[in-house]
Amino acid sequence: MDSDLPLDLNIENLPHHVAVIMDGNGRWATKQKLPRIAGHRQGAKTLKELLRCSKNWGIKILTAYAFSTENWRRPNEEVDFLMILFEKMLRHELEEMHRQGVKINFVGDLSALPKSLQNEIHRSMLETSNNQDIQFNVAVNYGSRKEIVNACRQIAELVQKGEINLEDINENLIEQNLYTADIPAPDLLIRTSGEKRLSNFLLWQMAYTEMYFTDILWPDFDRAAFHNALLSYQNRERRFGKVKAVLSA
């Protein structure tokens, strides 16, 4: 692999799964006196670069929050633009992503998306399903609470049908009924633009995820910024509720 991993990063301690909340596209555009949609267009380029960089550096899963269940409340023109942007990205980039060994996956309630986008989504997931270099999850019409309610309903139905007993409900079963079934939890979450919230993103999955917040607006989040986020991650001690390892004298 032609990894160009920066020398000060420890290859043994990279996050396996990085999740990103790509915030600040609108503010980036306004600062440049451009319409908000120009920020999303630039944001898409940033995401492409981050995917390329993640793959080269040996990160195995990248998950991006592209559209939340709450984002439908934005002006119609902006929502329409984003739906078309997702579709265009898939149409134009699929071949290249496939060649790069990217396995594309979507999480969220896809049934509410325009039919033509749903078709592109299914085609891209099917075509890239055997790729193994990096898994790229795109969260679209995603909301964590909705995801959990959905999982509860699916499990309740199994109990109702007598297929499982109440005692069979455990963390593993809940995980298997989330959109992210079979995807290990993120090790690192990055949120740009200075906001310090989770905004209904992967609430169950991020119980032990390290959080990194930066003031950089998403379209400006480049390779150097990602490098800094990874350095911060590598300086942390992840204890998962345990006490610090005690060195024997």
At a CB cut-off of 8 Å and minimum separation 6, what does 88 contact? none
71 labelled catalytic: yes
# chain residues binding ligand FPP, by CB under 6 A: 18
Q: Which of residues 84-103 bind ligand FPP (CB under 6 A)?
A: 85-86, 89
Q: Is 23 among the catalytic positions?
A: yes
Catalytic residue among 71, 131, 150, 200: 71
Min dist CB 131 to ligand FPP, Å, is 17
Beta strand spans in the chain (E): 17-21, 61-68, 102-107, 134-142, 188-191, 210-213
- Locate tokens 């043994």: which residue? 12
Residues that constitute the known binding site for Mg(2+): 23, 210
Q: Should residue 216 be labelled a site residue for ligand FPP when binding is judged by CB under 6 A?
A: no
By CB under 6 A, residue 25 contacts ligand FPP: yes
CB 56 within 8 Å of CB 3:
yes
Q: List the beta bridge partners of residue 211.
A: 189
d(CA 75, CA 190): 26
> Residue 6 phi/psi, 5° resolution?
-55, 145
Burial (Cβ within 10 Å: 0-12, 13-18, ≥19) of residue 204: middle
Q: Is 47 in the site for ligand FPP (CB under 6 A)?
A: yes
Judged by CB under 6 A, the residue of 14, 18, 19, 22 near ligand FPP is 22
Rank residues 157 and 195 by Cβ distance to ligand FPP and give the closer one.
195
Residue found by looking up tokens 């920066």 in the block: 6
66 is an interface residue for ligand FPP by CB under 6 A: yes
Nearest CA to 118 out of 106, 102, 136 is that of 106
Among 50, 51, 134, 138, which residue sits at the site for ligand FPP (rule: CB under 6 A)?
138
Q: Which of 15, 17, 19, 26: binder of ligand FPP (CB under 6 A)?
A: 26
Cα separation, 79 vs 69, in Å, equals: 12
Residue from 40, 55, 103, 191 that binds ligand FPP (CB under 6 A)? 40
For position 44 contacting ligand FPP by CB under 6 A, the verdict is yes
Q: Which stretches of the chain bind ligand FPP, using CB under 6 A?
A: 22-27, 40, 43-44, 47, 64, 66, 71, 85-86, 89, 138, 193
**Which residue numbers are catalytic?**
23, 71
